């Protein structure tokens, strides 16, 4: 494993890791709050940073079968959600390449980074 450079997001509205404060996503990349994760409510993002993806696996969800990878915080290794690699239902194709972050493990950390 090589050194992974951590990305710092700037501007208003940043979600980050509840445990270590690593930046994950800007609020303008938030696609939907109407998702369910392992811990309850989860958010769908178009793009996030500073996470590691695990093994690809096939998972049956309420919206059909998907190929997903769990994602963990690059800094503290906490499980934070998953990314959709492939959806089999035509109506779910829009989720491919997008990311789920569990609401329970992210926090709005914007205020900590405003100088």
Instruction: Kindly list the residues in this chain that would bind Zn ion in the complex (CB under 5 A).
Output: 17, 19-20, 22, 73, 75-76
CB of 21 to Zn ion, least distance (A): 7
How many angstroms separate the CA atoms of 99 and 47, rounded? Answer: 7
Distance CA 102, CA 89 (A): 23
Do β-strands 23-26 and 64-73 pair in parallel, antiparallel, or remain unpaired? unpaired
Q: Closer CB to Zn ion, residue 75 or residue 102? A: 75
Asked if 71 and 78 touch (Cβ cutoff 8 Å), the reply is no
Q: Considering beta carbons, is residue 18 or 68 the nearer one to Zn ion?
A: 18
Looking at beta carbons only, is 71 or 87 nearer to Zn ion? 71
């Amino acid at each position: 494993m090589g050194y992974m450079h951590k990305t710092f997001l700037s501007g208003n509205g940043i979600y980050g890791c509840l445990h270590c404060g690593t930046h994950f996503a800007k609020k303008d990349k938030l696609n939907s709050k109407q998702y369910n994760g392992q811990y309850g409510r989860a958010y769908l993002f178009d793009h996030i940073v500073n996470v590691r993806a695990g093994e690809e696996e096939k998972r049956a969800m309420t919206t059909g079968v998907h190929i997903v990878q769990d994602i963990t915080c690059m800094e503290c290794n906490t499980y934070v959600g998953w990314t959709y690699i492939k959806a089999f239902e035509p109506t779910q194709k829009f989720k491919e390449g997008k990311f789920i972050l569990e609401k329970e493990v992210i926090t709005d950390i914007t205020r900590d980074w405003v100088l």
